Structure 1
Amino acid sequence: MTQDSVLDTQLLTQYHDSLGTDGLNATLTTFDQIIQSYANLLHQAAKEKNEEQLRSQAHKVKGACNSVGLVQLAKLMEQLEKESWEWPQAERLLIEWADSVIPHRQQLQQWIEQEAH
């Protein structure tokens, strides 16, 4: 998956221009702190097979991911939030999302490091 399909580099460039590297890193620290609790709530809703709660949490996670330029992760959450699905499909999307968080976050960190130089 290319960096452009994973990251919203236009948004990130705007953030970097206005916040600088330190400001962008501070924003990501906040993201890292909240995304874990959001993910826990997502998985709890899936475990309980609570569709309304899962869709609500997916909306929150989508917003958090979009706010830091992680567009591919946001797209996965948008599918959970808005599309019609059966539980096995929802569970696969959650697994795909969870498996993608760390590598996508690493790509974002690499992008920031490249911009800092």
Structure 2
Amino acid sequence: MAQQEILDKQLLTQYRESLGDEGLKSTLTTFDQIIQSYANLLHEAAKQKHEEQLRSQAHKVKGACNSVGLIKLAALMEQLEKESWEWPQAERLLIEWADSVIPHRQQLQQWLDEEAH
């Protein structure tokens, strides 16, 4: 998957221009701190097959991902939030999202490191 499909570089560039490198790093630190608890709540809602709770949590995760330019991760959450699905499909989306968080976050870090030079 190409990097431009994963990251919203325009948004990230705007953040760098307005917040500076340190401000953007601080935003990402906050994201890193909250995303695990959000993921735990997603997992719990899926485990209990609580659709309304899963959709609500997917909305929060989507917003968190969009706020740091992780648009592919946000798109997966938007599918959980808004589209109609059966539980096996929802579980596959959750697995795909969970498997993608670290590599996508690493690509974001790589982009930041490259832009900082």
Equivalent residue of 2:84, what SS? coil
Equivalent residue of 1:84, what SS? coil
Equivalent residue of 2:85, what SS? coil
CA distance in 2, matches of 1:23, 1:104: 20
CA distance in 2, matches of 1:54, 1:76: 13
Per the TM alignment, residue 94 of structure 1 is displaced from its structure 2 partner at its CA by 0.1
Amino acid at match of 1:33: Q
CA distance in 1, matches of 2:115, 2:67: 18
Per the TM alignment, residue 32 of structure 1 is displaced from its structure 2 partner at its CA by 0.4
CA distance in 1, matches of 2:21, 2:116: 6
Match of 2:91 in 1: 91
CA distance in 2, matches of 1:17, 1:108: 16
Q: Which runs of 5+ in 1 are unaligned?
A: none
Describe how 1:22-101 pairs up with structure 2 within 5 A. 22-101=22-101
Match of 1:104 in 2: 104
Instruction: Report the number of matched residues.
Output: 117
CA offset digits 1:67-117 (Å, max 9, x no partner): 000000000000000000000000000000000000000000000001100
RMSD (Å), alpha carbons: 0.4
CA distance in 2, matches of 1:3, 1:72: 10
Per the TM alignment, residue 20 of structure 1 is displaced from its structure 2 partner at its CA by 1.3
Match of 2:115 in 1: 115
Amino acid at match of 1:39: A
Amino acid at match of 1:32: D
Q: Which runs of 5+ in 2 are unaligned?
A: none
Equivalent residue of 1:12, what SS? helix
CA distance in 2, matches of 1:18, 1:45: 37
Moved over 3 A (4+): none
TM-score, with normalisation over the residues of structure 1?
A: 0.99
